[in-house]
Structure 1
Amino acid sequence: MLLEDVWLRYHRGGPWVLQGIQLETHPGEIVTVQGRNGAGKSTLLQVVAGLLRPGKGRVRGRPPIVGWVPERFPADQPFSAYDYLIAMGEIRGLRASAAAQAATGWIERLGLEPFRDVRLPELSKGTAQKVGLAQALLVPPRLLILDEPWEGLDAAARALVPAIVGEAAANGATVLVSDHRGETARLPGATRWTVADGSVTAVPADPEEQCVVEVVMAAGEVTAFLAHLHSQGVRAQVRS
């Protein structure tokens, strides 16, 4: 996907929020979008998603299936969480049975079972965000865009976001994740886009970047696991 000389402002004669943006993404790539509040991160993501049309320039090669999770999920809708997810699945082309299966799967994975039949306006912000995340994943997207996805989530759900991002990328999706609180440290090896003063600076992923991964397992499995890691050139040690 290409952003070619993209400019955007919200009204004629107003200041340009984005100016001359030239960016490229690839299938399977994870991109973290960083910058201070008000820098234009959400605007950039909405342009990529196709929700905003550039005043100048264009976006080429946008995949047909886009999963979009806004920073604040619009929960003022007359549905229960489950009914909403089924409706969204059907809108995306799933048959009723497949939509119900997908909705149930994400409800279970995101810990939404206690809220399955609760109406959206009655949900907390964090719980509504989980519903927003689920709706974006009912059909595997080829472009997944997450605007501040950790905002309002509980600890268990926050820990799930990197796994979900990794799975989508492994399946060939391009994933864009915005963040202003440092949470994207959970996504090592990602390309970085930094938004400031209407422009975007892109820093490619560093394949030599080092990170630490903690694994908990049964004591009897440790020796064989360490031997496998060492055979792959991975440094590993045991902490009890």
Structure 2
Amino acid sequence: MRLENVWLRYRRRGPWVLRAAGVRVGPGEVVVVLGRNGAGKSTLLQVAAGVLRPSRGRVTGRPRHVGWVPERFPADQPFTVERYLTAMGRVAGLDPAAAGRAVDHWTSRLGLSGFRRVRLPELSKGTAQKVGLAQAVLRPPGLLVLDEPWEGLDAVTRDLVPAVIDEVAAAGGSVLVSDHRGEIGRLSGARRWTVADGTVTASAPSADPALAVVEIAVPAARVDGTVARLRADGHQILRVRPPAPVGVVAPDDAGRPPTGAVDAGVAPVARAPEATGGITGGPR
């Protein structure tokens, strides 16, 4: 898919949000869209997804099946989760049986099984975002466009997003995903589009930086807060292990007691503790 000399502004004589954007994404490629808030990331993604039409220029080669996940899922709709997803599966071209199987699969995988009969306006932001992700992948998309997909999600689902992206790319789909949380480290090999002052600059994947692993153990009641602080500091959480029995420290994968070390010369990555609720390694 190509964006060819794309310009866009929201009103006549208004400022240009995109200027002469010319970029491409191929089958099986993942592109992370970066830029400060207000730079035009969301606008670029909406043009790519077909939600917005360019004021000038054109988009060519857009796949027939596009999965679009906005930053905030529009949950003010009078449907239950099950009814909404089933309808979206039918809109995507699935027959009733296939739509039902897809809904069963994704509600289970995204932890939505207990919400199937809940109406969309009654969902929390995070749960609504899961519904938004589910509807985008009910039918394997040729293009998956995700606008800040980690926002509002619980730790388990945040860890699942890269796996979903990898699966779409492995099946030959293209993926565009915006990121301002520093989650790009989860998407190894992704290309980058940087949006600044309305222009879009494409760059190849950068070499992965050297990383050190730090193993820590925290009280189970403090896991969520500790994970949030580590993410806010730019660390990658690889995994969160369940609490071990009181007084028991679980060995690591090699059977050794847990140890922790940081090489001051490299960026640390928090990795799952081996005991009591440890932490492991994670404008638009």
**What TM-score do the two structures reach when normalised by structure 1?**
0.87
Determine the structure 1 residue equivalent to 2:193: 193
Q: Indicate the percent of aligned positions where both proteins have the same amino acid.
A: 65
Matched pairs, number:
221
* Cα separation, 2, equivalents of 1:72 and 1:27: 27
Determine the structure 2 residue equivalent to 1:130: 130
Determine the structure 1 residue equivalent to 2:145: 145
1:62-101 aligned at under 5 Å gives the runs: 62-101=62-101
Q: Quick one: which amino acid aligns to residue 202 of structure 1?
A: A
Alpha-carbon distance, 1:218 to partner: 6.7
1:146-225 aligned at under 5 Å gives the runs: 146-206=146-206, 209=208
> Do structure 1's residue 20 and structure 2's residue 14 form an aligned pair?
no
* Cα separation, 1, equivalents of 2:200 and 2:5: 11
* Cα separation, 1, equivalents of 2:175 and 2:189: 13
| 4+ aligned runs moved over 2 Å, structure 1 | 208-220
Task: Let me know the Cα RMSD of the aligned residues.
Answer: 2.0
In structure 2, stretches of 5+ residues that fail to align are 214-237, 242-251, 256-273, 275-284
Q: Quick one: which amino acid aligns to residue 200 of structure 2?
A: V
Pair 1:82–1:181, CA change in 2 (3 A):
same
User: Conserved in 2, the CA contact under 8 Å of 1:29 and 1:174?
Assistant: yes
Q: Quick one: which amino acid aligns to residue 80 of structure 1?
A: T
Determine the structure 1 residue equivalent to 2:41: 41
Alpha-carbon distance, 1:205 to partner: 2.0
Alpha-carbon distance, 1:209 to partner: 3.4
Q: Deviations over 1:57-89 (max 9, x none)?
A: 101100000000000000011111111100100
In structure 1, stretches of 5+ residues that fail to align are 221-239
* Cα separation, 2, equivalents of 1:20 and 1:77: 36
Alpha-carbon distance, 1:210 to partner: 5.6
* Cα separation, 1, equivalents of 2:38 and 2:107: 32
Pair 1:94–1:211, CA change in 2 (3 A):
farther
Higher mean C-alpha displacement, 113-122 vs 208-217: 208-217
* Cα separation, 1, equivalents of 2:51 and 2:167: 25
User: Conserved in 2, the CA contact under 8 Å of 1:69 and 1:132?
Assistant: yes
Q: Quick one: which amino acid aligns to residue 111 of structure 1?
A: G
Determine the structure 1 residue equivalent to 2:103: 103
Q: In structure 2, the residue corresponding to 1:14 is in which secondary structure?
A: coil
* Cα separation, 1, equivalents of 2:210 and 2:102: 33
Q: In structure 2, the residue corresponding to 1:102 is in which secondary structure?
A: helix
Q: In structure 2, the residue corresponding to 1:152 is in which secondary structure?
A: coil
Q: In structure 2, the residue corresponding to 1:57 is in which secondary structure?
A: strand
* Cα separation, 1, equivalents of 2:210 and 2:151: 24
* Cα separation, 2, equivalents of 1:20 and 1:203: 17
Higher mean C-alpha displacement, 182-191 vs 80-89: 182-191
Q: Quick one: which amino acid aligns to residue 137 of structure 1?
A: V
Q: Quick one: which amino acid aligns to residue 193 of structure 2?
A: W
Determine the structure 2 residue equivalent to 1:57: 57
Which is bigger in relative contact order (C-alpha 8 A, separation at least 6)?
1
* Cα separation, 2, equivalents of 1:163 and 1:31: 15
